[in-house]
Chain A
Amino acid sequence: MNTLIAITGLGIFCLLFEILNLRKAIIPFTILGLLGVLALNFCEFGMEQSYYNNMITVSKFSTAFSSLFIILTIFLVALSHNFYHNHPTKISDFVAIKIFLLAGAVAMVSFGNLAMFFLGIEILSIALYVLAASDRLNIKSNEAGMKYFLMGSFASGIILFGICLIYGAMGSFDVLEISESSLSAELPIWFPIGMILVIVGMLFKVAAVPFHFWAPDVYEGSPALTTALMSTLAKVVAIATLFKLVSGLNLISSLENQDLLHTFEIIVVVLSIASMSVGNIMALRQVNVKRMLAFSGISHAGFMLMTLLTVSASAGVLLYYTAAYALAGIAAFSVILYVCRDHDNEDITNFHGLGKTNPLLAAILTASLLSMAGIPIFSGFFAKLFLFNQTIQAGYIGLVIVAVINSIISVGYYFKLILAMYSKEPNQERTGKPFLIYAAAVISIALNIALGLFPSLVLDLLK
């Protein structure tokens, strides 16, 4: 709860700084503030508590994920400095929106009441709509914003309808009450329907097939930093929330009571396979790096959906997977931001010869791509390993084999980029070594590798 308040306060401070003409101090201050919030959040770790009539429930799950969100936001704010270099008047708005978005995100993983959940997801979505469309003179950005907005509101409507049905079944929005009464025998069918509708809405947010179509278009059209945010923070938030919904509302046992669990699991398996396959296969032919990473994100969503099959045990695995994925994503996007800052597109050709002109950045991008592909020592590998381990334990060996095949396909497009960096001649001068971008890239990949070397640090947090 304190985290949420602190984050909100920080956002308002950002706005105040603009009024007080302290524009230059905004980013350093925000980063420091976020670090403080992170510390605060750490202090809350392990204290199971609920606040304000159970509106906010602080648990290990919520604090762990909140910390991850805060870390990601720190990186994203740090990257803002160079990205919004040409928009000095708007920088406070951008930063403040990101901070509020973080507040929404934290609310989404620590909600104790569906109202908080709904408001959290709306804050997140609206902030994202704005950020997607924020390059207002760019027609692509407009289009991305519009697409995201239309489809996102549509999904919000469905989530709202789902919440309504849950309320109809339970007579309450309180998570605890709902999870208690979800086991009762005379449950109206409204509850599972409502849950499914909410899940469908969340699947849209995590961009799982067949609700994924927005992702590539929006990722491509949005300003690169927004894409970074969507593909890391937003995706992680969405999957974590989805996980929390399924586990917190006791959906699995409820479905079991009604003999619906089996079909539900089949649905999860099918969606997971579809997401992985579609994401990976479609990414093969992409030339725009952001678009490629969008499809990669879709496939990773498929992987992460596998955790829904083993809800009771896989919170730690999900945290690990999301952390690994998001940190790799941040590192990758830092490099993309650097490489494409003077270009109006993010085609692979921009990356030609990066290995010669900027070996460090090329190495970082390579490392992050290897992590996403699941090559050992990078945490992406361990993420997949733990996930597969968990899934095989639950008996879904076929699913794991499909996932393995998909991992193989994914190497194809990740390596396309690596090939471009190392085996093509540089086609342009790349000058300047913006400190913040380098720092963000180095730190995020270092964290990624550290996670790979000491997986237990994160994995055992939620035990």
Chain B
Amino acid sequence: MNVSTILIILLIGAFATYFSGDKLSSKVALLFSLAALGCSILLLNNYNAGENISLITSWINQPKISFALNADGLAMAMVLLTAALTPIIIFSSFGNEYKNAKAFYGLILFMAFAMTGTFLASDGLLYYIFWELALVPIYFIALIWGNGDAEERRKAVVKFFIYTLAGSLFMLTAFIYLSQKANGSFLIEDLYKLNLSACEQFWIFLAFFLAYAIKIPLIPFHTWQANVYQKAPTVGTMLLSGIMLKMGLYSVIRWQLPLAPIAAKEYMYVFIALGIAGVIYGSIVALRQNDLKKLLAYSSLAHVGLIAAGSYTLTLDGLRGAVLQMIAHGFVVVGLFFAAEVIFRRFETREIAEMGGIRTQSPKFTSMFLILVLASVALPSTFNFVGEFTVLYSLSQINIWFAVLGGTTIILGAYYMLRMFQHVMLGETNSKTFADVSLNEGISFAVIIAVLLFFGFYPKPITDLITPSLETILQVINKN
């Protein structure tokens, strides 16, 4: 058994879902996503047992492109994240009725397939293909099943697509250039071995940066984000924020830094500063948002800014913290968007001003929402704290001011999140009735919260999983 199994399950799942018809599709999709989760856990087991679960098959001869999937600890962690979040996301959508549900769920699984592929691919081109493939389903999900004014949505979604595609095409150019240098091979090992001049590295770094900065997004390339998050159906938003963002961050660690280490070191401060600027900017903009999903989008911007800053420190702590934070943020943000969706199902609004007073009607929901809010502001004992602490620590090792400025997230984050919480949940009882959370909704929340709290106290399994591969990457970075 190797990692391609999980891809196959997801791909077959996508088609099976499409052909199972509108009524059954959601269940079929859930089944396959759970199967993928099971498979990934099995694989993790095999990986921990030291088995080789990678796969390399030659695909195209000239230029040499291989179907190479490599699951090291880092990739495994991200695959697990995807595999765990996908069923949650699918399950969370059970309360909604979608037109043409078979296509909807099929696309979700297809996107999971592509994202998993992105995490696993160890051939530059294969990676790029998965990277782009992941973009197509989300485009349609946002376009067809999105909400809000159709014209606005079209604009937002097209902007998103073109923008992200623009970035990644430059990455493709960089890949082609690299493969030229590596005698036509796109294999990651061959690319890692390259010795490029500082100038070449600069341009390659920049090309990658463009792709990732747009995807992650870092300021000032984030303008697509809030609108798309707002317009996309919540499931799409979850996929985008929970997993797709992580693709960019993962790629920074996997591809950008090891391929252009000199440039990464040279311009480290610039990019850390950019990430931290994103933290502050995102937090400040989030303060005065009227739309719940937009607010969460900006909060996401702030968080990923910090993760990116951590990655660019090029220290083991920074990378490790970044990965931990990625996983934690993946769960939290999915939970928060789901909470927004739960409110939307009852109030049919996303305007914060029209909410409030939910706590008296549904204390259960309030508690779960509050835990998510607190996790999002990195309260110690939640998983997010572990990540955020590690990242901030690594920043402080670079320059204490980075840690201070990056640390403002814990103040500003608390400010906008609690402000949001106050206006959404507290206050006089709302005139609209708020039915208590259903069992399905409760299960989704419970799973997310359990994960966050468990790893908040015991992140060791994940740390142990990712550390060796991060060390390998650091070796590549520091090879000169």
Binding site for B on A (CB under 8 A): 355, 359, 370, 375-377, 381-382, 385-386, 388-389, 392-393, 397, 400-401, 404-405, 407-408, 411-412, 415, 419, 422-424, 455-456, 459-460, 463
Contact = CB atoms under 8 A, between A and B. Distances in A.
27 contacts: A359-B103, A375-B132, A375-B133, A381-B132, A382-B60, A385-B176, A386-B63, A389-B63, A389-B176, A389-B180, A392-B173, A392-B180, A407-B169, A411-B162, A412-B162, A415-B162, A419-B143, A419-B154, A419-B158, A422-B140, A422-B144, A423-B144, A423-B150, A455-B60, A456-B59, A460-B62, A463-B62
Main secondary structure of the interface of A (DSSP, over half): helix
A411 B150 CA distance: 20
A392 B177 contact: yes
Interface in B157-185: 158, 161-162, 165-166, 169-170, 172-173, 176-177, 179-180
B136 interface: yes
A355 B176 contact: no
B431 interface: no
Interface residues of B, number: 33
A408 B169 contact: yes
A277 to B, nearest CB: 15
Interface of B: 59-63, 103, 125, 128-130, 132-133, 135-136, 140, 143-144, 150, 153-154, 158, 161-162, 165-166, 169-170, 172-173, 176-177, 179-180
Contacts, number: 80
B172 A385 contact: yes
A423 B144 CA distance: 6
Contacts of A382: 60
B252 to A, nearest CB: 21
Contacts of B180: 389, 392-393
A205 to B, nearest CB: 29
B114 to A, nearest CB: 9
Contacts of A405: 166
A376 B132 contact: yes
Given A392-B176, A423-B150, 14 more contacts: A376-B129, A376-B132, A382-B60, A386-B63, A388-B176, A392-B173, A392-B177, A404-B172, A405-B166, A412-B158, A415-B158, A419-B143, A456-B60, A460-B62
A408 B162 contact: yes
A238 B62 CA distance: 26
Given A381-B129, A463-B62, A400 B173 contact: yes
Nearest to B135: A375
Contacts of A422: 140, 143-144
Contacts of B154: 419, 423
B62 A459 contact: yes
A460 B61 contact: yes
Contacts of A408: 162, 165-166, 169
Nearest to B151: A423
A99 to B, nearest CB: 35
